[in-house]
Amino acid sequence: MADKMRRWTMDAVGRAQLKLAETAIPRPGNGEILVKVSAVALNYRDKLVIETGFGAELPFPFTPASDLAGIVEAVGPQVSRFRKGDRVISTFVPGWIDGKTSGTARHPAHVTLGGLLQGVLAEYVVLSQDWAVVAPTTLNDAEASTLPVAGLTAWSALVEEGKLAAGQTVVVLGTGGVSLFGLQIAAAHGAQVIVTSGEEEKLARAKSLGAAHGINRKATDWAKAVLDITDGRGADHILEIAGGANLGRSLEACAVGGRISVIGLIEGFEISGGVLPLMLKQVTVRGIIVGHRRALEDLTRAVDRTGIKPVIDAEYDLAALPAALDHLERGPFGKVVVRMR
């Protein structure tokens, strides 16, 4: 194995601070694994962290991103979960194995890879053995790298927390990574899926993935369209990607006893909506912070059994990270992935 590797690093917040550096390959310690990274999936959150810090005190020099797929290159002492040669993917919230997250009302847990902890945009990464799971056998590395945040967020919202059932109606807002995972997971469970987008081409592509209906949010009131499609009943599950005042539209479209999973913050850090539909419909509004390791393991098994294939809009070489971030900002159909060539 070589002694040097490439990794993206930054000494301060801002896109202009990114540089591709050559550094020493780390070595695993007790309970740690060295992963030769094959692919890193980007999330909108990574863009915010790079550009603004996203409210975190970043550990400079800082390496961004959280979602990798790769091969275990070496294991340190006392490692029992993996062996050299195993294909793995990372977990987003280190140490969250199952159940509730840690933290308090004043200080909720927010320690994540590519945030308060170093990220994974490097050719080699050392992880605790508890911070990884075995990759699905039916996905290549680029596809597998999309599961830790986008895939698990949709799975947590609909299955782990939402108890999705066949015959229910699921609305996914937009056609980004989480939304398309939500579409495919819901369709695999026998649900009716309604997708919104501002582009007819994306709606057509979403239907090819299993969506029963597509709503052009620029051409019509999407909440009223959902009520028309469901004969006034509304949606059992809504993946609220936009946030902000759009929550009010989701409350209007939600069924009695329905569930809104708040995932995105594209429209800002504050959410708002009418209290009457919230109370009269007895709607559950649940915040989703990705999910725990056990749920990710459940998702990987489900992917292998159902044949779900993550949608990748584009792949970029490691050196082309700026172009990949530009693509992310334009709004991809699915995921943007950085490959180690």
What tens digit of pLDDT does each residue of 269-311 get? 888 899 999 999 999 999 999 999 999 999 999 999 999 999 9
Q: Would you state the pLDDT for residue 130? A: 98
* pLDDT digits 0-9 by tens, 163-218: 999 999 999 999 999 999 999 999 999 999 999 999 999 999 999 999 999 999 99
Supply the pLDDT for residue 1. Answer: 60
- pLDDT, residue 179, reads 97
Q: Which domains does the chain have, with CATH numbers?
A: 4-147+291-339 (3.90.180.10), 162-287 (3.40.50.720)
Give tens-digit pLDDT for 128-140.
999 999 999 999 9
Given a cut of 80, whether residue 267 has pLDDT beyond it is: no
Helices (H), the chain: 44-52, 141-144, 152-155, 177-188, 200-208, 222-229, 246-253, 275-280, 293-306, 321-330
Give CA–CA dist 15/30, Å, rounded.
35
Q: Render pLDDT for 81-119 as a digit per residue (tens, 0 to 9).
A: 999 999 999 999 999 999 999 889 998 888 999 999 999
The DSSP code sequence of 84-108 is: TT-EEEE-SSTT--SSS--B-SSSB
- Whether the Cβ atoms of residue 315 and residue 141 lie closer than 8 Å to each other: no
pLDDT for residue 236:
98
Cβ burial, residue 167 (10 Å; 0-12/13-18/19+): exposed
Task: Find the range with the poorest average confidence among 49-58, 190-199, 318-327.
Answer: 49-58
Rounded to whole angstroms, how far apart are CA atoms 88 and 128? 12
Q: Does 150 have pLDDT greater than 70?
A: yes
Model confidence at 264, pLDDT cuts 50, 70, 90, reads confident
The stretch 37-42 carries a mean pLDDT of: 98
What mean pLDDT is reported for the chain? 96
Q: What is the pLDDT of residue 258?
A: 98
pLDDT of 268 higher than 80:
no
pLDDT of 152 higher than 90:
yes
Mean pLDDT of all residues in 5-9? 98
Share of the chain above pLDDT 70, in %: 100
320 DSSP 8-state letter: G
Distance CA 149, CA 31 (A): 24
Percentage of residues in the chain with pLDDT exceeding 90? Answer: 92
Among the listed residues 135, 5, 134, 1, the one whose alpha carbon sits nearest the alpha carbon of residue 74: 1
The pair of structure tokens assigned to 183 is 């579409």
pLDDT band at 265 (very low <50, low <70, confident <90, very high): confident
